[in-house]
Amino acid sequence: MKKSPAARLSDDLESAIRAGDLRLGEKLSGEEALAARYGLSRPAVREALQKLKGRGLITSRRGSGSYVSTDSGARSLSASIELYSALRRDGSAFLELLDLRLLLECSCVEALAKPGAGAARQALREQLAVMEKTVGSPKTFGKADITFHLILVEAAGNNLFTTVMRGLLATVGLRFANKTYIEADLPLRILAEHHEVCEHLDAGRATAARRSLRRHLESSRAHLLALLQAAQSA
């Protein structure tokens, strides 16, 4: 099938970005210049730029023009993971996505036990305070819980892990929270497990913090598995 003029332009610009001919943060030629160079109409150029913008490859600045995105595709990757996990609603896929969370978080948590990670530990404590105040409000409690886990990964400084976690937590994390935190005793148990992780981190006990976090995540996985099995047998 023959591609439209807009599609050909977007493909050409994407190839230039991938090859490094257009660098991160570099300003693209204006619509008029692109139209003249490629022999296209201004609407076709706008369509091509909108396609690239929608994929996170470029950004627009009002009154300035279009620029190659500086997030190295992070938003696109996070959005793709979010879409994947949102569409995979069968039980086995749900558990696999939580297994990925377990691997990522346990790989990062020990970094927060280092002396220089005090600000990150304080940020975790702040989320715990929100959770304590909102135990009876599943939605607010769940959002604070999700933020807690995201901080664990962000503070470790691994940009790829952070991008993946953002995509997972926006779907798997939120759905898990909405479906399970309505149980009266679960938020209290989760809060206690989070406190245990923080106590180990504050004391510099990196290995103990990782073990506590693994137990917490494995407990959440077991709880989800029980819910899925109960639903299948109902």
DSSP 33-44: HHHHHHT--HHH
Average pLDDT over residues 164-171: 76
The fold for domain 74-233 equals: Four Helix Bundle (Hemerythrin (Met), subunit A) (1.20.120)
State which H helix or E strand residue 67 sits in.
Answer: strand 65-68
Residue 16's alpha-carbon distances to 10, 20, 74, 100, 134, in angstroms, are 10, 6, 18, 33, 49
Instruction: List all residues 6 or more positions away from 180 whose beta carbon is below 8 Å from its beta carbon.
Output: 186, 223, 224, 227
Q: Return the pLDDT at 58.
A: 82
Q: Return the pLDDT at 171.
A: 65
**Residue 115: CA count within 13 A, CB half-sphere:** 0
Residue 65's alpha-carbon distances to 60, 129, 162, 189, in angstroms, are 6, 43, 29, 51
Q: Percent of the chain at pLDDT above 90?
A: 37
The fold for domain 5-68 equals: Arc Repressor Mutant, subunit A (1.10.10)
Q: Return the pLDDT at 98.
A: 81
pLDDT band at 88 (very low <50, low <70, confident <90, very high): low
Q: Return the pLDDT at 140.
A: 86
Q: Return the pLDDT at 142.
A: 84
Q: Return the pLDDT at 202.
A: 97
- C-beta of residue 24 within 8 angstroms of C-beta of residue 62: no
The structure tokens listed for 60 are: 């627009």
Q: Return the pLDDT at 190.
A: 92
Q: Return the pLDDT at 143.
A: 85
Average pLDDT over residues 186-199: 94
Residue 4 pLDDT > 90: no
Residue 21's alpha-carbon distances to 28, 50, 64, 77, 171, in angstroms, are 11, 20, 21, 22, 35
Q: Return the pLDDT at 123.
A: 94
* 56 or 220, greater pLDDT: 220
Q: How many CB atoms lie within 10 A of CB 153?
A: 26
Average pLDDT, the chain: 84
Place of tokens 């909108």: 50
Residue 212 pLDDT > 90: yes
Domain ranges of the chain: 5-68, 74-233
Q: Return the pLDDT at 233.
A: 73
Residue 73 pLDDT > 70: no
The structure tokens listed for 164 are: 């993946």
Q: Return the pLDDT at 127.
A: 94
Q: Return the pLDDT at 231.
A: 66
